[in-house]
Structure formats: C-alpha cells, structure tokens
Amino acid sequence: MFDLEKLIRPNIKGLKPYQSARDEFSGLAEVSLDANENPFGFGLNRYPDANLTDLKKEFAAFRNVDSNRLIFGNGSDELIDLLIRAFCEPGQDRILIFPPTFGMYEVCGNINNVEVQKQNLNEDFQIDIESVKPKLNDSNLKLIFVCSPNNPTGNSIHRETILEITKNFDGIVVVDEAYSDFTDSSLVSEQIPNLIVIQTFSKAIGLAGIRLGVGIGNTEVIDVLNKVKPPYNVNALTQQKAIEALKRPDEIKKQVSILVEERKRMSQTLPTIEGIRRVYSSDTNFLLVEFDDAQEVYNTLAENGIVVRDRSKQVANTLRITVGTPEENDRLLSVLREENYSTSGRTGECLRSTSETQILVKINLDDPSNSHSNTGIPFFDHMLDQIARHGAIGLNIQTKGDLQIDPHHSIEDTALALGTAFDNALGERKGIERYGFLLPMDDSLTQVAIDFGGRPWLEWEADFKATHVGDMPTEMVSHFFKSFSDTARCNLNIKAEGDNDHHKIESIFKAFARALKMAVRKDESGVLPSTKGVL
C-alpha cells in the first residue's frame, strides 16, 4: 500500500517550511514594506509570486489538470533533485533507473548520496517488467524514474508497463515526459496516488532559456515537494514568458507538427546515406542514429559547423541528432552525403557566414553525381539546379538567410559564395579551356559568354517585365551574375531576349551552365591558358 507518511524522510516530515514575507500576509498591500526590497529598482524590484498563481492557472488550462496537482521548478532538473531530497534518506535509500536514459537521475542520486540501482532496458529499449518486480518489495527503494519517451533512445516505454510498476510498488514512480508532446501519449490524466509526471518547458514549448519544469501529481505528494522547494525558485521573468507562451497553444502545436514532420523526413532520408546502419524510431524531437563509425562522423560534422551529441558510450556507435529547422536538417544531410562523394576531381568549398546569411557551398567540377540546393527560395533553387545539371558539376548549396526581410541577401551572398567555391576549385587555372560560349533558346534567345581570365566583369543585356518570378525578384538575376563574377574572377557577357520571363531567366541559367561547363573543361595540355603567366 502506498503510504506517504512512511515514505517521507523523517526530517522533512517534521520540517517547518520557510515562511516568506508574502506568505504571511494575504490581504491587498498598498505599501509593501515587508520584504526589504528596494522601492526604486529596475522594474523587477519585487519578489515574484511565490505561489505562481497565474502560471498555475494558465498551465492547468493548457494541460487540462487541476492546479493543486502542480509544482514548478527551475527546470525539471530541479524537480528531480527535490524528489530525491524529499523522499530518500542519504546513505540508506535507493532510486531505480533504466539505462540508457537521461543522466540527471543518476547525478542527482549521487549528489544526495542516494544509491542508484540500475536495470538496463532490453534490446527493444523497453523495461523488462518481470525482472523489475522482485526489486519492488525493497523498503529502501523510494523512487523509480521512468523516462518516456526516453532520452537518448527516443522510444516511449509501454504505458501498461509503467502502470504495472505503479501498482506493484509502494514508493513513487516518476515519469519524465520531457518529450511527450512529440507523440500523442501522456500519463498526466492518470490520477494514481504514487505517480508523478514531470514535464519541461525546454522542448516542445521552446523555452529552454527560462529554465522551467513542472511536476503533476497527487496533491499530497505535491505539498511535500512544496515544503522542500526554495520559496522563489521560479523567477518573475520566467513566469511571465511561460504565461505568454501558454496563451499561444496553436503556435506551439504548429512548431511541434513541423518538427514531427521533419523527424519523419529525416528518419526516411538518413537510412539512404552510406555509413548509416540504423535510425531508431523516435517519439521525440531527436533521432538516435547508428553509424559505421560515429566518432568519425561526429568530427566531420563538427568540422562543418554542425554539433550533435555522441551517445556511443550509452548505445554503441550512435549519435543523437536533434531535429532542427528544415534548412538545418538539409545542411546536416548535405554534409553527411558529402562524406560519400568522390573527393577526386577539382573541388571547391565556401562557408560564408554574416549576420544576414549563413551559406555552405561545395562544388565538384568533375563529378556531377551529387547535387542539391536549398536556399529557401524555390525558384532560385530551380535555377541553381540548372547550373548543376547543365554545367555537369556537383553543386551543393545550403543557404540560411534573412528571408523575413527579402530574398536579396540570400541570392547575392549565395552568388558570392558560389563564385568563391569556383575560384577555389579552379586553383591556378592551369589546363582549363578558359572561355565558354553558347546560344541556347526556348522562346527566348540567350547568349552567355564567359572568360575565367582572373578579372571580374559583367556585361548585361536583358530586361524583365515582371518584378518577380515565383519568389525570386527579377532584379536579383543580374545581381546574382555580378556577384558571381566578382568572386569567381570571371568576365560574363550575358544577353537575352524573349517574352516569357520564366523562360528567359531559366535559359540564362542554362546557358550560363553550359558556358561554365565549356570553360572549366580540362584540356590535355595542362598549360596556363594565358601569355601573362598568371590568371
């Protein structure tokens, strides 16, 4: 039988909790001279509401729970610690955890000198209930931590297993639902006396910076925790930000649904990449991925500015990859794919990062087998695909720019980065044809002549009737080529005529691609195509 009185540490049972100034007076204070605050200050001179009245009300509505069943902490990390301090006698009591799992349960146990008993998850990352049952009669086992969905494996623990544990155990079962918003299952509505669910504002609600966690459980258990917690553990700014977010449930849902979609896309795409052995199924906002050599992939990603978590010590050869924005995920995919590129041939790269854009361009002039462009501007991506296809070059472009302003910086900076990557790939420019020239057409007639002679120049003769084609401003077309010629150090002479702007622009990009293909082609001589001796 669950008996709270028997479970609480004797010193906590007898504890007279700290009475804050604001606890003692419940009327309407017109002049507050009770808490030794500075009456001037900077707008936050008063202690925050220690009872979290508004936050509790808002969260209770958000989750459809009774506000008496709530306790808030400075992150759910604080609640884990509070639970151990309230119920486990140091040097005597135990907690049970199921590795591989979230590291803080063990750390908090160790800090409090409370033994951490472990039973590994089985090969499906589930709890083997039959092996747990004999452990449940131990009167010194006070808390069982079940992380569901589990970090770092990503799967949910079967609901029936958790409920079975609560039935057969006289202590408290703590279910950590940090990631439950990324799946549809939660135990918050279960009114089980010895169950406490902890959740966090750091994941789905997107407020890791404010440090806020919440425990939802039996009112009597919550009262014990309230006795132990510091009086003002949730500060005023945190309360304010949390309330603001909880008032926008539709936006939270929208963000979660994008992340769930991206998780699906990533789980389908990653297994197609060589070197990836397995992508574990996930109910969270991260994926546990097994590689042939996780350490090497970790290093490659880090060299490319992408940081993931190496979890190989917990699950062999795995990295835990958080699901990011679609652009971030594309960038990760592109770096992972690049690992399998032929590195033979003339390659060039440019990583360009400013306050307006972050761009990664990788090109291979001699291997067109792998190309992908993602700039966030679909029509522009389509044009970059023309360069790759008709130029017969490998072209990988990831651009993350300030599209909320307009596409200008993204297009211009992509062109600059692309030009630099060309410049790098051409090296000393020995043994290239140097000149390219073509006259392709649809309903339009386009001429693009190019000279990789080492000097930038753009001659431009093309007008557009429309201001935009798709989401790309037409004025950015000449700007793209000007920027490219600046950093690729080439002359470009572009003329186009015709009626349909889409065709005209597309034929310019195609003709440019063909001109590029001709100009960068290796000739057999290996000599520098210039009498100056340098290009």
Residues forming contacts to ligand PMP in the complex (CB under 6 A) are 75-77, 102, 147, 151, 176, 178, 200, 202, 208, 213
Q: Which is nearer to ligand PMP, 178 or 432 (CB)?
A: 178
Closest approach of ligand PMP to the CB of residue 509, in Å:
45
Q: CB atoms < 10 A from the CB of 26, how many? A: 7
Closest approach of ligand PMP to the CB of residue 271, in Å:
24
Token digits for 230? 């510091």
Q: Which is nearer to ligand PMP, 149 or 473 (CB)?
A: 149
Which of 124, 73, 121 is CA-nearest to residue 97?
121
Closest approach of ligand PMP to the CB of residue 110, in Å:
17
- Those residues whose C-beta lies under 8 Å from the C-beta of residue 297, and which sit 6 or more positions away, are 275, 291, 319, 336, 339
Closest approach of ligand PMP to the CB of residue 129, in Å:
21
- For 138-154, the DSSP string reads -TTEEEEEEESS-TTT-
**CB nearest ligand PMP: which residue?**
75
Which runs of consecutive H residues, i.e. helices, occur in 186-287?
A: 219-228, 236-246, 249-269
Q: Which is nearer to ligand PMP, 147 or 508 (CB)?
A: 147
Closest approach of ligand PMP to the CB of residue 44, in Å:
22
Q: Which is nearer to ligand PMP, 177 or 381 (CB)?
A: 177
Q: Which is nearer to ligand PMP, 234 or 384 (CB)?
A: 234
Q: Which is nearer to ligand PMP, 202 or 398 (CB)?
A: 202
Whole-angstrom distance, CA of residue 43 vs CA of residue 294 = 49
Q: Which is nearer to ligand PMP, 181 or 412 (CB)?
A: 181
Whole-angstrom distance, CA of residue 126 vs CA of residue 447 = 64
Cα separations in angstroms, 380 against 355, 370, 443: 21, 18, 20
Closest approach of ligand PMP to the CB of residue 205, in Å:
10
Which H or E element spans position 160? helix 159-167
Closest approach of ligand PMP to the CB of residue 148, in Å:
9
Cβ contact 488:422 at 8 Å = yes
Cβ contact 162:146 at 8 Å = yes
Closest approach of ligand PMP to the CB of residue 187, in Å:
14
Closest approach of ligand PMP to the CB of residue 513, in Å:
46
Closest approach of ligand PMP to the CB of residue 256, in Å:
16
Closest approach of ligand PMP to the CB of residue 199, in Å:
8
Q: Which is nearer to ligand PMP, 208 or 405 (CB)?
A: 208
Cα separations in angstroms, 278 against 176, 287, 317, 443: 26, 10, 10, 49
Closest approach of ligand PMP to the CB of residue 220, in Å:
24
The pairs formed by 461-470 with CB atoms below 8 angstroms and a separation of 24 or more are 461/494, 461/495, 461/496, 462/494, 462/495, 462/496, 462/497, 462/504, 462/508, 464/501, 464/504, 464/505, 465/501, 466/501, 469/379, 469/501, 469/502, 469/505, 470/377, 470/378, 470/379, 470/382, 470/502
At residue 67's C-alpha, the angle toward residues 64 and 69, to 5°, is 95
Whole-angstrom distance, CA of residue 476 vs CA of residue 483 = 10
Q: In which residue are the tokens 């759910």 written?
A: 76
- Those residues whose C-beta lies under 8 Å from the C-beta of residue 261, and which sit 6 or more positions away, are none
- For 443-493, the DSSP string reads SSEEEEEEE-SS--EEEEE---SSSEETTEETHHHHHHHHHHHHHHT-EEE
